[in-house]
Chains A and B, each alone.
Chain A
Amino acid sequence: MDTTRLIIVAVGGQGNLLSSRVLGEAACRLDIPVRMSEIHGMAQRGGVVESAMVFGDAQSTIISDGEADLFLAFEPLEALRALNRCNSKTIVITNTSSLPPFTAAIGKGTYPDIEAIKQLIKEKVGRLITLDANALAREAGNELSVNIVLLGALIKADVLPITADSVKDAIRETTKAAFVETNLKAFDLGFAAV
């Protein structure tokens, strides 16, 4: 089957490893070949965490610069920083809620204006989808569900061969029982936001 390549970037602690896990489980349920790769270790020390997911018949588990079909960013500054993973056809989904790095707090660099970030991304890629995933996660009942809100938006973008139902089943199976209802609501809110 055709290969679809997805890059997810986030800040450590935002839960992107769980979201790629849920997506991987959903793919398995549908018997869609999936391979993924992630760099962790520093994740809990406030650095950038990146996952690559390759759906389809490829054997590689990583994605070269310019070769992401889909690009999901949990944080707008990190969307901009990792934009070289995209090409002019890539579909980009980014959270608009910012998490300024500590360096900006101590005056080493300036956090760019969100509208400017959106404009820069929009003119370079195939399609830009933006949503305030933190606000939607709060609406769902837990700000930590940002990762699941963004999964909802990702599935609605309709590029991956993965259904909303299979993701919801994977949420039920993979996420902690106490959070399942909130996570399902978060998924629906993200799905409806696109």
Chain B
Amino acid sequence: MNTTQLKPFSKDILHIENIDAVCDSIIEKLRNDVFHTLQRRGGVVGISGGIDSSVCMALSAKAFGPNKVTGIMLPEQDSSDESRELAQELADKFGVGTLVEDITTALDGFGCYRRRDEAISRVIPDFDPDIDKAKIEIKQNIGQNLPAIFSITVIKPDGEVISKLLPAKEYLQIVAATNFKQRSRMSMLYYHAERLHYAVIGTPNKHEVEQGFFVKYGDGGADVMPIGHLYKTQVYQLARYLGVPEGIINRTPTTDTYTAEQTQEDFFYQLPFDQMDLIWYGWENNYPAEEVGAVMGKSAEEISNIYKNFERKRKTTEYLRMRPIF
């Protein structure tokens, strides 16, 4: 493998040196995409109090002007109150108007909660959705060369934790049911976008797009994705530069989808973001596992297995990124 043209791998390799120019370029492109290519008058952004949607809203406010951006909060019964408070703080900081659309009733109508809880109860008969909390998670180490399998974890009010491997039928039903959340949010965002003749600003970052950590026609349904090419640590760098509130920057990224607290690392990525960014960069730029391992303090074999995990994730989620075939 010829690596002579690659910069030596280092922990700083993804650091954006000229952050002001990079930000300006993203803002200029976003403005051009929305005003000229899409021919819309502004943008709606679903704001969750998370880092990605916050950066997208800040970029939108600078690209279109705050009066041409609407921040939409879309809580449901499982959302944390903190999410809404942080989203409002963000909108206030950037002078963006907000709307709150509680989608709990819509989700109830779809049977989202009932279908999810039925599947959980089939695996853990003792599960009581009224008082217990639940989440799905990957428990395996990413460094072993086996595809990830999800477990269901139920937390009883007294702190007892019950965890079981999810059978295929129940896993698929839980995911299909909870995906109503992202798809309902997408429907509501498009309602407001069409009402205002705005574009829907999508919030997925590079990992979500490429590893398939999004719901097809849910949070993957948008007109433009201004941070779809950025690594997570770069999103944080932009957040600091743009002045996103510290409470959002310091918050651990969660899915805000299940009733139990769940980080994105537990749910899907299996690695802390700072490590995942660097190893993903190493993988997609063909850095030898030995070179990356030496910098990351991991063995070449472990890096090699993580590379295989990335390759598997990208391959098995290709369906999510595909357009309809005709």
> Is B a genuine binding partner of A?
no
Question: Which residues of A pack against B, CB within 8 Å?
Answer: none
